[in-house]
RNA sequence: GCGAGUGUAGCUCAGUUGGUAGAGCAUCACGUUGCCAACGUGAUUGUCGUCGGUUCGAUUCCGAUCACUCGCUCCA
């Protein structure tokens, strides 16, 4: 119980820090905000791009058998008929005005009576659709209705044939994409964890059905390794949830879950999707999306193993995992120690990787020149205001792993001190070695 | 979507039994200081979430609405 209260406080602190330091804030706030939408500020957008770049490098650039794609958000409406979203995302619902129970009309035994309280005082059936609707062209009617994609993977299936032909890839191979997806969530909750506009990073891997479970295990291991090695997740911070109920076409599914302040939540799914998606798009489009294996003359419908990450949830997980308060020495009068707030973010995704600070404003010229050199290689920031200690703490709050201080000896000995965020220890480094020193620390 | 709570400066909050607001921190300037939120002086910041009603007058009372938090529901 006590821990729950602490976790609620933690969430509030994270939201407050994000707002105050320009990491994440409510969308359209001057108009009162809009439920389920969040903006990434100057530091948040840097972090988001860093995570995107890390995933893209990990999943696409370093692999010969995964290709990239950047498809449109609005697709032909039939795409969503084929995927099942139009059917499954759209239900006629009625509410009982008396006991407030909600029913799907098609699941009610008697559509005029509430099964719970037997009241007949029900609302008119109303359509609940989790897909966002828009219109293509200037005429707003049913014929011109289109939908914002509810997931980024469907356009991957739709473009499967084009990508394969263009790249001459043979099975097995994957197609990856990062992009926005939209869902009219009934109840957006928990900061950016469940929002109505969000970014997904998805990879669909196409293989022979006989090999599909091997690939499933492979991608599962790859993704776990990524979280441990690239994002620094410890064993007690994440867990694997194994789905017991599977879709009829799937052979396996796991979720990688993370310990958020509000409880365990899904961060990524590694799902076996069978031949379902390509089969459906073949049926609905009339185009045969099966694969001809020229080595043995066999034609197969590829089986799909998917890795699907929520980017916004990744950012939130990094913030939750990294938020730390600890006692630290202070030079303030009458106080022996003070609370230090820091974000322990992995250096490779920190919004600012290196802050360059003159020990005094008198040293601004040398420090600024050093900053301009460093800025080309790392996400960097220069700050000369207030005391050096205050600037360290400012950088701690946004998770800057290294502060480079240009001091009164620097001009003479051509060396600076590098201060570590987590240990607060300093090391003196020659300026000519600084870039390689930091590269060794930060990693890519 | 239902229920409860909350909404005052960038953040955390106080306050006004109805007469249009304050603190700490933050921010900025100057001085001082030379490695962990130092100090001094001064300064900036609010349509008191929004709209409407009652009132001579509303941040305060009433209604609606928006947003956030929690519980329920939902999570293909």
CA–CA gap between residue A89 and residue A104 (Å, rounded): 12
Round to whole Å and give the CA distance between A441 and A444: 10
Q: Please give the residue that has the higher pLDDT: either A89 or A47.
A: A47
Q: How many Å does it take to go from CA A32 to C1' B53?
A: 22
> Separation of CA A278 and C1' B68 in angstroms?
42
By C1' distance from the Cα of A190, the closest nucleotide is: B69
Strand B and A272 CB separated by under 7 Å: no
- Percent of chain A having pLDDT more than 90? 65
Q: Evaluate if the CB of A32 falls below 7 Å from strand B.
A: yes
Between A203-207, A239-243, A440-444, the lowest mean confidence (pLDDT) is in A440-444
Instruction: Give the tens place of pLDDT for each residue, A336-356.
Output: 677 889 999 999 999 999 999
Render pLDDT for A190-200 as a digit per residue (tens, 0 to 9).
899 999 999 99
Nearest Cα residue to A274 out of A246, A255, A314: A246
A99 beta carbon to strand B: under 7 Å: no
Nucleotides of B under 7 A from a protein CB: 1-3, 7, 10-12, 26-29, 33-39, 49-50, 66-76
Predicted confidence (pLDDT) at residue A130 exceeds the cutoff of 60: yes
What pLDDT does A368 receive?
92
Asked whether residue A34's C-beta has any atom of DNA/RNA strand B within 7 A, the reply is: yes
Euclidean distance between CA atoms A133 and A259, whole angstroms: 34
Q: Is the CB of A13 under 7 A from strand B?
A: no
Q: What is the pLDDT of residue A89?
A: 64
Q: What is the pLDDT of residue A226?
A: 97
């Amino acid at each position: 119980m006590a821990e729950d209260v602490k976790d609620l406080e933690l969430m509030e602190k994270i939201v407050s820090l994000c707002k105050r330091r320009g990491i994440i804030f409510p969308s359209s706030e001057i108009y009162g905000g809009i439920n389920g939408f969040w903006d990434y500020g100057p530091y948040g957008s840097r972090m988001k791009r860093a995570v995107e770049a890390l995933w893209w490098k990990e999943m696409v650039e370093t692999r010969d058998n995964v290709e990239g794609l950047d498809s449109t958000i609005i697709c032909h409406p039939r795409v969503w008929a084929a995927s099942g979203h139009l059917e499954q995302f759209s239900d006629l619902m009625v509410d009982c005005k008396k006991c407030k129970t909600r029913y799907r009309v098609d699941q009610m035994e008697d559509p005029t009576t509430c099964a719970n309280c037997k009241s007949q005082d029900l609302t008119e059936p109303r359509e609940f659709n989790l897909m966002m609707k828009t219109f293509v062209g200037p005429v707003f009617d049913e014929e011109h209705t289109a939908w914002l994609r509810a997931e980024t993977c469907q356009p991957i299936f739709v473009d499967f044939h084009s990508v394969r032909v263009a790249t001459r890839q043979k099975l097995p191979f994957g197609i990856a994409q990062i992009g926005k997806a939209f869902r009219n969530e009934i109840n957006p909750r928990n900061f950016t964890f469940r929002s109505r506009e969000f970014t997904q990073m998805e990879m669909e891997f196409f293989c022979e059905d006989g090999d599909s479970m091997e690939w499933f295990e492979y991608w599962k291991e790859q993704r776990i390794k990524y979280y441990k090695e690239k994002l620094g997740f410890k064993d007690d911070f994440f867990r694997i949830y194994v789905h017991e109920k599977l879709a009829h076409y799937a052979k396996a599914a796991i979720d990688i879950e993370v310990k958020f302040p509000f409880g365990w939540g899904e961060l990524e799914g590694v799902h076996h999707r069978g031949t379902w998606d390509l089969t459906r798009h073949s049926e609905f489009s009339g185009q045969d999306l099966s694969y001809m294996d020229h080595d043995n003359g066999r034609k197969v419908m590829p089986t799909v193993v998917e890795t699907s990450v929520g980017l916004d949830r990744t950012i939130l997980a990094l913030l939750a995992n990294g938020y730390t308060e600890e006692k630290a020495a202070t030079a303030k009068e009458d106080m022996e120690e003070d609370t230090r707030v820091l974000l322990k973010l992995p250096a490779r995704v920190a919004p600012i990787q290196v802050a360059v600070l003159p020990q005094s404003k008198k040293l601004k010229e040398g420090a600024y020149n050093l900053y301009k050199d460093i800025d080309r290689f790392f996400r960097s920031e220069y700050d000369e205001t207030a005391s050096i200690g205050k600037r360290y703490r400012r950088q701690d709050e946004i998770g800057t792993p290294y502060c480079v201080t240009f001091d009164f000896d620097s001009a003479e000995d051509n060396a600076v001190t590098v201060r570590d965020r987590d240990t607060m220890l300093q090391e003196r480094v020659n300026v000519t070695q600084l870039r390689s020193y930091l590269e060794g620390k930060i990693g890519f």
